[in-house]
Structure 1
Amino acid sequence: MCFLLTVYNGFHQSSDVVKNLFNNLFINKSYNKQVRPINDQNATIIVTVDFELFSNHDFDEVAEKIAVSGNLEVIWWDDQLVWNRSAYNDIYDMLLLQDMIWKPDVVLKNGYNKFEELGGSFYYVIVNHNGLVAWYPYHMFESKCSMDVTFYPFDEQNCHVIFIIWSYRYYKVGFYPDSK
């Protein structure tokens, strides 16, 4: 038990080291979230997405609506958020508020009532030392769903929850399902 505590204590980061890393990324390098985070601005940023369904909240045949809760796993690389781990006491990754960095503006294309960007000011992203960014926005999704109840109660319905990147054209930001 003592051995584990000693090993674990060896990996704590001082706040000064974390502050230095933060200052280097956001102040010294002048990070700007309005600029696509890729060194070659003619290249396409590849964003992958995966959806994890938590629960089905509503299935309304008359209104042709489905409501589910879940979160997306959205992954991309940010060339401006890369650091040398050995220079910062081996910091592997850090949590940042999503509003601090560039992120794709993901929206539910076939939303039932509202059309809004996912996420919120209280969501965090995980940024690895190599620039890999992972974002997990959770939401209650209400989607339109055309239904055919001709053979009720033996019918089958296929409903789609469709996400898109709203502002960027496909040659600026490629948005693809994760191939796990």
Structure 2
Amino acid sequence: MWIQWIVVYCIILTVYGQTISDYKTLIRQLSNNYDNSVRPVVDQSQPVSLSIALDLLAIQEFDEVLEKFSVAAVIYIRWRDPSMKWESSTYNNLHTIMIPKSKVWTPTIIVKNSFDTVKPIGDDWMKIRYYKNGDAVYIAGNVFKTTCAVDVTFYPYDAQTCNITLISWPEIANEITISAYEDNILNSHFSENGEWEVTSTSVTTGTIEKLSTIDFTIKLKRRPIFILVNFLLPVFFIGILNIMSSI
């Protein structure tokens, strides 16, 4: 539900018609004495609570030989920053603002089972959306390339299970905790793949070597008709043509 609220607040923003002066005044006030190296929690003995969701857009590639699984997806990360709260009535009913990621505290989240070089999700030019109650939402879209163990015993009627495992880094579990916003992966914007059918998804959280983790599991089933149409039939017809040409 909180993902839908992002759209609602954007609509509210246009209705009230805040000015650039309202923005500048609020950002200047929020930035006063703000330190982006300090975790956004009043009691520093307590962890920052992250809520994470993944919206699956498309399966880009599944290379069984390299055991590489690539998907286009959007990651939603939400937390609360007590230093970023304000009274909207003081700023012409300004309910939400966006601030560059590099200027505020943001969690460092990496893909643990990345097929390529491991690096944090998102870039410094991206922005964090804040709401008047201190809620922060970070949205990062990307093509996530992960490793995936493949079992082709029953090819072309095989089923595979692949994961996207995210971990917080370098904060340990008593500094950052991760919870799943949904029990399953979001798929309202998903584009079907011709070769693979997504049969189910699940989301679990835990810890690995004292680091908070969230694991997005995607179960796939191969569409055998894809193999028939794209590989077997062309080979069959080429064979027929070769036989006919030799007669």
TM-score, with structure 2 as normaliser: 0.67
Amino acid at match of 2:144: F
* Matches of 1:138 and 1:179, distance apart in 2: 18
Aligned to 2:145: 142
Of 158, 168, 184, the residue aligned with 1:155 is 158
- Match of residue 15, structure 1, among 17, 20, 39: 20
SS in 1 for 2:133: coil
Say which of 86, 90, 112 aligns to 1:87: 90
Superposed, 1:14-53 pairs within 5 Å as: 14-27=19-32, 30-53=33-56
Q: Mark the structure with the bigger radius of gyration.
A: 2
Gaps of 5+ in 2: 1-12, 184-247
1:122 deviates by 2.2
Equivalent residue for 1:104? 107
More helix by share: 2
Higher relative contact order (CA 8 A, sep 6+): 1
CA RMSD of aligned residues (A): 1.5
Q: How many residues of Structure 1 are paired with residues of Structure 2 in the alignment? A: 171
Structure 1: where are the runs of 5+ without partners? Answer: 1-7
Match of 1:173 among 173, 176, 188: 176
What's the CA shift for 1:169?
0.6
Kindly provide the CA deviation profile for residues 69-110 of structure 1, in whole angstroms up to 9, marking residues without a partner as x.
Answer: 111010000011001111111110001111111111010010
1:141 offset after TM fit, Å? 0.6
- 1:41-95 Cα offsets, whole Å, 9 max, x none, are 1111110110111111110111111011111010000011001111111110001
CA displacement at 1:10 relative to structure 2:
6.8
Kindly provide the amino acid, as one letter, of the partner of residue 109 in structure 1.
Answer: K
Over the matched positions of the two proteins, sequence identity in percent amounts to 26
